[in-house]
Amino acid sequence: MGVVGLSLALLLAALVALCSAARSDAPRGVSVGFVFDPKAQCDPQCSHGGICIRNHTCFCSKGYEGESCQYANCYPKCKNGGTCLRPGKCRCPPGFGGRYCHKVTCDGGCWNSGECTAVNGVAKCICPSSWTGSRCQEAICPQGCRNGGVCVAPGICSCPEGWLGGACHTAVCTQSCLNGGKCISPEKCRCRPPYSGPRCEEKKKFH
Ligand SMILES: *[C@@H]1O[C@H](CO)[C@@H](O)[C@H](O)[C@H]1NC(C)=O
């Protein structure tokens, strides 16, 4: 290689020197650090506006490098496995963003004060202790929510009709069970013998 870094002005100066030399047939003009051969052939051809200055040597435009100027260069370099698409433009792998792929991005964000962090190169939400799920969107109810209850906030169950209590574990009997009977499910009493009936209000008669 060895041609990257030469300024375009220098190249133009070389061209001017060559043209005037051809016209006057006299060696004059500026001396340059490389030989420009107008018949030079580069195979593969110089990409991205690079100029073939001598056989197999490309003079690359700003922002490109490689034998045929095939690679864009990004400064600062693309981080986290990003690839340089064109000068200064990185394509980032999933989970990373920002101009140089230096930012971790969790798809959909992290809720409830969760923190987006790269774990082994993969973006992940780190959730506070009372939340879980890929985006920390699910509350944790350590007591559990029974009888079809739903955990809606840390430690708080939303209970279906007929159930109450921190874990939706207490059945509701609108009219209380009598004579030592126990409400075992919504509007259902379990009676102590010898009582029976919806509210355990009847005493069986034995003959
Ligand atoms: C460049 O390559 C061409 C084709 O292979 C050849 O004819 C020519 O002599 C080469 N020029 C130089 C300066 O080596």
Count the neighbouring beta carbons within 10 Å of the beta carbon of residue 17: 17
- 92-96, 158-162, 197-201: lowest mean pLDDT where? 92-96
Asked if residue 150 has pLDDT above 60, the reply is yes
Average pLDDT over residues 172-186: 95
Q: In ligand 1, which atom is closest to the CA atom of 40? A: 1
Domains of the chain, with CATH numbers? 1-12+35-71 (no CATH), 141-170 (2.10.25.10), 173-203 (2.10.25)
Establish whether residue 56 lines the binding site of ligand 1, counting it when its CB lies within 6 angstroms of any ligand atom: no
| 195 CA to centre of ligand 1 in angstroms | 114
Q: Do 118 and 104 form a contact (C-beta atoms < 8 A)?
A: yes
Q: In ligand 1, which atom is closest to the CA atom of 37? A: 13
C-alpha dihedral, 72 to 75 to 80 to 85, nearest 10°: -20
Q: Do 83 and 71 form a contact (C-beta atoms < 8 A)?
A: no
